[in-house]
Amino acid sequence: MRTSVLVAASAGTVITGLLAYAVYFDHKRQTDPDFRKSLKRNNRRMARAAKEEAEAHGAQQREAIKQAVQQAKEEGFPTDLEEKEAYFMGQVAQGESLCAEGSDQIQAALAFYRALKVYPQPKDLISIYDKTVPKEVLEILAEMVAMDSGLNLGSFTGESGSDSHGVE
């Protein structure tokens, strides 16, 4: 019975110490202006670092998208009607499977982009993509379309309600 009393007393002491530290920290946070300034400064530093990291990641992603579009253009696209149809179906299936896996969003968007390049009515396909493709992949696809000057869709923002009276 002696060990259980010792364990309970130790646990009570640790909990009391943690509670006392929490009360001290809260009191210091509320009353000490220097401490409050240093907390705000640290929070601003962390927010700035997170923002810079997000910007760097965005720049890397844009570069990866640019390279993927360039690679797709270099590979070329089929010109025969039957080849286009088979290519289209294969690319859409690949894009859907990559979206379902959730693995590589750029590769999924690239597959949808390739399908878009061989589709006879790309604006109609964009409206279908709006309803079926996940938002993150659709945003990447929008960047790919924006990088391709040879693909004339008018304005594509990745949102529903595409412009149906534009000239192709």
Question: For 62-98, how does the pLDDT look when each residue is reduced to its tens digit (9 = 90+)?
Answer: 898 889 888 888 888 888 888 889 999 999 999 899 8
Other C-beta atoms within 10 Å of 69: how many? 22
- The structure's pTM equals 0.62
Can you say whether residue 77 is alpha, beta or left, with left for phi > 0 and alpha for psi between -120 and 50 degrees?
Answer: beta
**Range 158-163 contact pairs with CB under 8 angstroms and sequence separation of 24 or more:** 158/130, 159/130, 160/127, 160/130, 160/131, 162/123, 162/126, 162/127, 162/130, 163/123
**Residue 55: both structure tokens together:** 């910007």
- The runs of H, that is alpha helices, within 32-80 are 33-75
Condensed to tens digits (0 to 9), the pLDDT of residues 114-150 reads 998 888 888 888 888 888 888 988 999 888 888 877 7
The amino acid present at 110, given as its one-letter code, is: L
